[in-house]
Amino acid sequence: MADAESTVTVAAATLQTLIADIFAAAGCGREEAERIGRYLLSANLAGHDSHGVIRTPRYVQWLQEGKVRAGQALTVVNDGPVHATLDGNWGFGQTIGPLAVDLGIAKAREAGVSVIALRHSGHLGRIGDWAERAAEAGLASIHFVNVEGGELVAPFGGVDRRFSTNPVCIGIPGDDAAPMLLLDFATSLVAEGKVLVASNGGKPVPQGALVRPDGRFTDDPAALYGPLVPSAPRDPAMGEGALVAFGLHKGSGLAFMCEMLAGVLTGGGTSGPIPGGKRGRISNGMMSIYLDPAKFSGADFHARARAYADYVKASRPVTPGGEVLVPGEPEARMRAARLAHGVPLQAQTWTAICATARSLGVAVPAP
Ligand code: NAD
């Protein structure tokens, strides 16, 4: 059902099946295709549309160009009782991600802690999915992520791009009585997907989210994509400006350390020009730490975590009728709403997904 001229609302189950059918037709095994559908939908359900089904046409193109590979498994480069270095062989992040997380969970259950260095994974999408997987197994987790081959963000004080949008994610497990807490954000002031939406006439990004090549701050998406031609595809390689890191030197420093931990320490690659003709191929590196609360804290861990979250929420709101939310709360609310009422997509996003489906001979359901 179209609920606004520029928006199409699709039932979650319908959308997930369509995305799975597309990837199955594109050459993935059925199991992998369903997993990709499930995780892309999961980002939309959490409200992070920039990392959801909007990625389908680009992922299919990458598969067809050999930039991401179907049916890959992890290669263990080296490992020990509490650590492993893993190579994702440019497999789909939706396949490589859960394999890497499950190894981290297994090791942390034995030792109380584990550290998993993952290199050369296809796009890992919404990193919160991986902290949620660990939390479902009862573990806290910390994830630092970079993008080899991606270059979008200027360092603090600079104009030229040196980082990607390098996300950081921390998950704290809940139990039946305590909700899980999930902090999951890009280290750029806004995600690239939000600039993309603004470039198509959607919600503008804040002034100062981008920097022009002459050093002036701006909200103009042309800084990232070059001159904007209506309805032409947007390519961040065409812009001469950059995204700006959040929080001045602090966010920029965090993005820098994501490159060090997820790009250099994993043995993968950093943001920057890629030698050897791999231009256009991106991969995620991810340094993850898993912690078993039972090995560090008392049996009252969940009760104390809940009590503190309640104390934070009880801070008086700055606006009358306002509310303090804890990390993960906006996503949980959005998930409940979208499961009940469907997933709104920009009409342009839905059209692009349908075009990809038809090009592969997949029937498109009525939204
Ligand atoms: P964002 O700016 O929307 O921030 C989200 C975080 O802030 C969440 O933890 C959320 O619970 C919390 N939050 C939001 N509003 C809040 C409020 N009012 N009170 C308290 N907490 C609140 O996220 P983003 O930077 O746009 O990132 C979006 C997604 O993009 C993330 O899931 C991230 O993992 C993903 N990402 C992935 C890559 C990649 O290479 N795979 C790169 C960049 C970003």
Q: How confident is the model at residue 162 (pLDDT cuts 50, 70, 90)?
A: very high
Using DSSP bridges, classify how beta strands 217-218 and 181-185 pair: parallel, antiparallel or unpaired: unpaired
Using DSSP bridges, classify how beta strands 153-154 and 242-244 pair: parallel, antiparallel or unpaired: parallel
pLDDT at 235: 85
240 located within any domain: no
Q: Percent of the chain scored above 90 by pLDDT?
A: 84
Of ligand 1's listed atoms, the one at least distance from the Cα of 328 is 11
307 located within any domain: no
Which protein residue's CA is at the shortest distance from atom 21 of ligand 1?
Answer: 327
Residue 193 CB–ligand 1 contact under 6 Å: no
- pLDDT tens, position by position, 261-279: 999 999 999 998 765 545 5
Cα torsion angle, 109, 115, 121, 124, sign:
positive
Task: Name which of 95, 96, 115, 117 is nearest 105 in CA terms.
Answer: 115
**CA–CA separation, 212 vs 318, rounded Å?**
34
pLDDT at 279: 58
26 located within any domain: yes
Of ligand 1's listed atoms, the one at least distance from the Cα of 47 is 3
Among 1-10, 131-140, 254-263, whose mean pLDDT is lowest? 1-10
Which protein residue's CA is at the shortest distance from atom 18 of ligand 1?
Answer: 325
For the domain that residue 336 is a member of, what is the CATH number? Answer: 1.10.1530.10
**CA–CA separation, 161 vs 213, rounded Å?**
10
Task: Name which of 118, 120, 152, 88 is nearest 282 in CA terms.
Answer: 120
Distance in Å, CA 184 to ligand 1 centroid: 5
Residue 68 CB–ligand 1 contact under 6 Å: no
Element (H, E) at 289: strand 283-291
Whether 362 contacts 18, CB under 8 Å: yes
**CA–CA separation, 352 vs 336, rounded Å?**
26
Of ligand 1's listed atoms, the one at least distance from the Cα of 187 is 25
Residue 4, pLDDT > 50, answer: no
Which protein residue's CA is at the shortest distance from atom 32 of ligand 1?
Answer: 126
271 located within any domain: no
User: Which residues lie across from 147 on neighbouring strands?
Assistant: 284
pTM above 0.85, yes or no: yes
Distance in Å, CA 170 to ligand 1 centroid: 11
Integer CA distances (angstroms), 82 to 108, 113, 116, 268, 290, in order: 7, 7, 8, 20, 10
- pLDDT tens, position by position, 219-237: 999 999 999 987 777 888 8
- Identify the domain containing residue 29 by its residue range: 1-65+329-367
16 located within any domain: yes
For 5-17, what is the mean pLDDT? 92
Q: How confident is the model at residue 28 (pLDDT cuts 50, 70, 90)?
A: very high
Residue 330 CB–ligand 1 contact under 6 Å: yes
336 located within any domain: yes
pLDDT at 282: 87
Residue 143 CB–ligand 1 contact under 6 Å: no
Distance in Å, CA 299 to ligand 1 centroid: 30
Q: Find the angle CA(100)-CA(292)-CA(305) to the nearest 5 degrees.
A: 120
Q: In the chain, how many domains are there?
A: 1
341 located within any domain: yes
Q: How confident is the model at residue 143 (pLDDT cuts 50, 70, 90)?
A: very high
Which protein residue's CA is at the shortest distance from atom 17 of ligand 1?
Answer: 325
- pLDDT tens, position by position, 71-123: 999 999 999 999 999 999 999 999 999 999 999 999 999 999 999 999 999 99
308: which residues sit within 8 A by CB, 6+ positions away? none
Average pLDDT, the chain: 93
117 located within any domain: no
Distance in Å, CA 188 to ligand 1 centroid: 10
Q: How confident is the model at residue 3 (pLDDT cuts 50, 70, 90)?
A: very low
Q: How confident is the model at residue 131 (pLDDT cuts 50, 70, 90)?
A: very high
pLDDT at 232: 75
User: How many Cβ atoms sit within 10 Å of the Cβ of residue 336?
Assistant: 11
Give the amino acid at 171.
Answer: G
Q: How confident is the model at residue 20 (pLDDT cuts 50, 70, 90)?
A: very high
pLDDT at 304: 94
pLDDT at 2: 39
Give the amino acid at 252.
Answer: S
